[in-house]
Amino acid sequence: MLTKEECKAALQKRILALAGTSLDEASAADKYAALASLIRDYIGQRWVDTTRYYDDQKQKQVYYFSIEFLPGRLLDTNLRNLGLREVWCEALAELGIDYTELANAERDAGLGNGGLGRLAACFLDSLASLGLPGHGCGIRYTYGLFEQSIIDGVQVEKPDTWLSDLDIWEYRKAGKAVTVEFGPPLGTVKAVPYDIPVIGFDNRTVNTLRLWSAELRDGLNVNYSSLTPGDIRKLLEYKNWVEAISQILYPDDRYEEGRHLRLVQEYFLVSAGLKSIIRHIKRKQGSNLSYLANQIAIHINDTHPALAIPELMRILMDEEGMGWDEAWDITTHTISYTNHTVLPEALEKWPVDQLRSLLPRIYEIIHEINERFCAELWKRYPGEWDRIAAMAVIADGFVKMAHLAVAGSHSVNGVAELHSRILQDDLLHLFYQHTPQKFNNKTNGITHRRWLLSANPGLAGLITDTIGPAWLQRPTELERLLPFAASTAFQQKLTAVKQDRKEALAKFIFDNYHITLDTHSLFDVQVKRIHAYKRQLLNALRIMELYQRLKADPGLDILPRTFIFAGKAAPGYYLAKKVIQLIVTLSKQINNDPAIQDKLKIVFLENYNVSLAELIIPAADISEQISTAGKEASGTSNMKFMMNGAITIGTLDGANVEIREAVGDENIVIFGLTAEEATACYQTGQCDPMIIYNQDERVRNCVNQLIDGSLPVIGDEFKPLYEYLLHPNGAFLELQDFAAYLDAQAKIDRLFRNKHARWQMAIKNIAHSGRFSSDRTVKEYADAIWHIRPAEIPQR
Ligand SMILES: *Cc1c(COP(=O)(O)O)cnc(C)c1O
C-alpha cells in the first residue's frame, strides 16, 4: 500500500518532470496534471490484467454504443475507486495543497448534452464497480457541449475547448486504428481510438471507454512532384471534411434536425466500433463468428448508433462471407436497444437519398431489411396495408431509425415503468403486438458513488457513521436509515450537513455572481436542459404569481425561498432561450426589489454541467420535476436530488412515479394531470389554454405580465412566450397545471414549517433512494438482456 510519504515525494518529482517547476511555484493545474499522471501509473497493470482475464476466460462482454458520454471530472472518482483518496488527501494536506482546488482544476469531460450521456457514464461506473465486462464506445469530440454564459440576460455560446488541456486520462492507441468507408466522393477515413480507463470501486476491474477520433487516411494519393492548385484544393477539402467528423457534439437535446454531418458521425462511430470489436474477437477467439452473439452483446443507447445493425450485417456478409439468414440471426441476437424519448421531433429519420448517397451499401442492406420485414408482416397481417406502412423501416422517403432498431434487435426497453408502458401502448404499439417478447423496462439509475459519496462526503460520512459502510456495495441498505427517520439527533446532524452544502453553494454564488443568499431560505431548485416539455416556464410563472402576491401584501406569511435555475438551451431553440431570458429578467426585478425584503431570490447559474450539478444538488431543499406527464422518459436528476435529501415536487411522469412508490405518497408532493389526462387533453382539444386564461385570474395576471410592460425589459421581448402559452395546442399544458402547481407549492410551504416532519421526509427519501442506483439498473441489463456475469480479476 502506498504511504503518505511516498505520495508526497512522488508528487514533487512528477511536478518537476511535467511542469519543470517546484511545488511552491506550481499552479493548481500543474498539481492536478501531476497527480492525474501518477494515477495513470497505478492503473496500467490492472487495466492489462482485466483485459487479459476477459480474453483468457472467454468472458462475454458488452459494448455500450452511445453518441454521447458525459463523465464529468475523473480525478476524484478515480482516486476514490482505487482506494487512494484518503492517503492522497492526507499527503496533499501536509504539503499545504487544497485538494478541492486541485481537483477543480480538471475540466469536465462534457461529451454529452444531458441525461442521455450522463446515463451512459453512470452505467460505465456501475459496470466496472460490479466487476462486469462492459465497455463504452463513443466519439472523441474535439469540442464538447458549448460553454454557456449569460450576457444581458441572453444565452451566449462559446466553444468548449476541453482538449486544450490535453486530456490526461486518455491513451491514444494509434496502432489500433481502423478505416471507415464512405461512399464517393468522401471515401476512406481513419478512425483512431483514444481509450479512457473506467475503474471499478474497490475491486481490480478496469474497463475501457473507447472514443474514436477521425483522422486523414494513410497514404494519400497525391503526386508530390506535380501538385496542381486543384489537387491542393481537393486535399484541403478532404482534410477539412475528415476533421469535421469528430469536431463537434451536436448541441440539440431531444431534437433531430437531420444534419448530414450527424449521419456521418453515426456511421463513423458504429463502423469503427464494430470493426475493432470484431478484429479483437477474431484475434483472441478464432475466426469463426458463428457464435458472436454468445461472445459479445452490443447495446445501442437510443437510435443514434442504430446503423450498427446494417453495419454488422455488412461485415458478416461482405467480409465474413455469411448468408443473409445467418448474419441476420447473429445480428439480431447481438444487438439490443434502449428508447429514450416519445417526443416526435426527437425521433430520428433520414431521407433515403441522403443515406443512399453517403452509404450506398448500408442503404442497400437497410432496403433489404425493410423488404424482408414487410414480407414477414404481410404474412402475419395479410391485407393490412396501413399497419404494415406504419411499421415499415423505410416509408415516405425516410429511413425510420426507431423501426430499424426494433426490427434489428432482440430487446427493446424504455427507461421507466411509465415510459415503457407508453412505448408498448402507443409509440411502438404495433411492434409490441408483433413481438411482445422483445419489450421490457429498465428504470434508469444514477451511480451513488458520484452522486452521494463524492458529491456529498458529509452526508456519506453521516450515513456510514450511522449504519456502517455496507450501503456502498449494496445501496438498498440505505433503508437501514429508516429507524432513524424520527430521531431528533440524526435529524439535527442531517440539518447540519444540508446547511453546510447550502453555505458552500451560497459562497460559490457570491464569489461568481455577487448575489447574497439567505442560506436559511428554502433552496428550490430546477436544473436540467431548458426545454418546453420540462416546463421551466411553469416554474417562472408561479414565481411571478408569488411575487405579485407579496407585492400586494408585504406581510404575507411565506417561508423565504431561493429559486435556483441552471441549464443550457440548444443554440437554435428560440423559445428555450426566451425562457432563460425571462428567468434572468425576473431575477433582476425581484432580487433588487426592497419591498420583497429578501424573502425571494432568483439565481440562474451559467454553464450547467456535471461539476455544477455536484455542487447544487446536495444543497437543494426542493427538487422541481414538473414536466408534462408522459413526456419525460425517466429523468435522472430527480434521483440525484432524492438521494441527497431534497423533497420532490413533481408530476406523475417518468421515474417520479416510481420515486413516489418508493417513498410513499406522504413523502413527495405530486400534482397535475396524469399522462392519460394529458393525452386526453391533446386528443380532445378540450384543454384550450384560453378557457383557463379566462377563468383563472391568477393565470391571467401572470400571463399578461409577459406583454404589459411590467417586466424590466424594453419592447416585446416576451411576446413569443405569451403567444406560446395561449396557442390552442402549442403548449405543454402549463396553464392546465398552473392551479394545481400553486396548491402543491403551498403544501410545500406548510410542510417545511414543521421541521421534524420535513427532515423525516428527507431521511425517508435518502433511505429509499438505493433502488435508483445504476448498480441495480445495470444488474438488470446484465441479467436479462446482455447475459454477462461478473468477473473477479485476480491479484497478480
Ligand atoms: C443528471 C444530469 C442531467 C439530467 O437531468 P434531468 O433533470 O433528468 O433532465 C442533465 N445534465 C447533467 C449535467 C446532469 O448531471
37-92 pLDDT per residue, tens: 999 989 999 999 999 999 999 999 999 999 999 999 999 999 999 999 999 999 99
Average pLDDT, integer, range 457-472 = 98
- Separation of alpha carbons 108 and 146, rounded Å: 12
The chain-wide mean pLDDT, for the chain, equals: 96
Catalytic annotation, residues: 340, 528-529, 534, 636, 640
In three-state secondary structure terms, 686 is coil
Q: How many CB atoms lie within 10 A of CB 679?
A: 16
Q: Is the pTM of this model over 0.85?
A: yes
Counting from 1 in the atom list of ligand 1, the atom nearest the Cα of 625 is 7
| Unique residue bearing C-alpha cell 422518459 | 633
- Which long-range contacts link 693-698 to residues 24+ away (Cβ below 8 Å)? 693/726, 693/735, 696/735, 696/738, 696/739, 698/545, 698/738, 698/739, 698/742
β-strands 394-395, 349-351 pairing: unpaired
Residues with CB under 6 A from ligand 1: 114-115, 118, 528-529, 608-610, 613, 635-637, 640
pLDDT band, very low/low/confident/very high, at 221 (cuts 50, 70, 90): low
How close is the Cα of 588 to the center of ligand 1, in Å? 26
What pLDDT sits at residue 730? 67
What pLDDT sits at residue 2? 86
In three-state secondary structure terms, 190 is strand
Burial of residue 189 (number of CB atoms within 10 Å: 0-12, 13-18, 19+): buried
Q: 607: which 3 cell numbers?
A: 454553464
Counting from 1 in the atom list of ligand 1, the atom nearest the Cα of 609 is 13
Which CATH number is associated with domain 448-676+737-779? 3.40.50.2000
How close is the Cα of 767 to the center of ligand 1, in Å? 22
Q: Where are the domains of the chain?
A: 1-57+74-107, 60-72+109-444, 448-676+737-779
Distances (CA, A) of 521 to 358, 612, 619, 771: 57, 20, 11, 30
What is the number of alpha carbons within 13 Å of residue 669 lying toward its C-beta? 26
pLDDT band, very low/low/confident/very high, at 431 (cuts 50, 70, 90): very high
Q: Do domains 60-72+109-444 and 448-676+737-779 have the same CATH topology?
A: yes
User: Which phi-psi region, left, alpha or beta, contains residue 108 (left: φ > 0; alpha: ψ -120 to 50)?
Assistant: beta
Counting from 1 in the atom list of ligand 1, the atom nearest the Cα of 635 is 8
User: Which phi-psi region, left, alpha or beta, contains residue 452 (left: φ > 0; alpha: ψ -120 to 50)?
Assistant: alpha
Segment 365-379, tens digit of pLDDT: 999 999 999 999 999
- Separation of alpha carbons 18 and 41, rounded Å: 14
Q: Measuring CA to CA, which residue among 684, 633, 102, 779 is closest to residue 341? A: 633
Beta strands in 93-187 (DSSP E): 109-111, 134-139, 144-151, 154-160, 171-172, 178-181
- Separation of alpha carbons 607 and 631, rounded Å: 24
Q: Whose CA is nearest to atom 2 of ligand 1?
A: 115
How close is the Cα of 606 to the center of ligand 1, in Å? 15
Q: Whose CA is nearest to atom 3 of ligand 1?
A: 115
Segment 170-209, tens digit of pLDDT: 999 999 999 999 998 889 999 999 999 999 999 999 999 9
- Separation of alpha carbons 423 and 440, rounded Å: 10
Residues in the chain: 796
Is the pLDDT at 165 greater than 80? The verdict is: no
Cα angle 30, 35, 41 (rounded to 5 degrees) comes to 130
How close is the Cα of 114 to the center of ligand 1, in Å? 5
What pLDDT sits at residue 596? 93
Homologous superfamily of the 60-72+109-444 domain (CATH): Glycogen Phosphorylase B; (3.40.50.2000)
Counting from 1 in the atom list of ligand 1, the atom nearest the Cα of 612 is 13
How close is the Cα of 732 to the center of ligand 1, in Å? 20
Is the pLDDT at 220 greater than 70? The verdict is: no
Residues in contact with 201: Cβ distance below 8 Å, sequence separation at least 6, in sequence order: 80, 81, 125, 128, 129, 449, 472
Average pLDDT, integer, range 667-696 = 92
Segment 685-732, tens digit of pLDDT: 778 899 999 999 999 999 999 999 999 999 899 999 999 999 987 689
What pLDDT sits at residue 633? 97
Q: From 108, 111, 118, 564, give the residue whose CB has the most ligand 1 atoms within 8 Å, as the site to mutate.
A: 118
- Separation of alpha carbons 472 and 451, rounded Å: 12
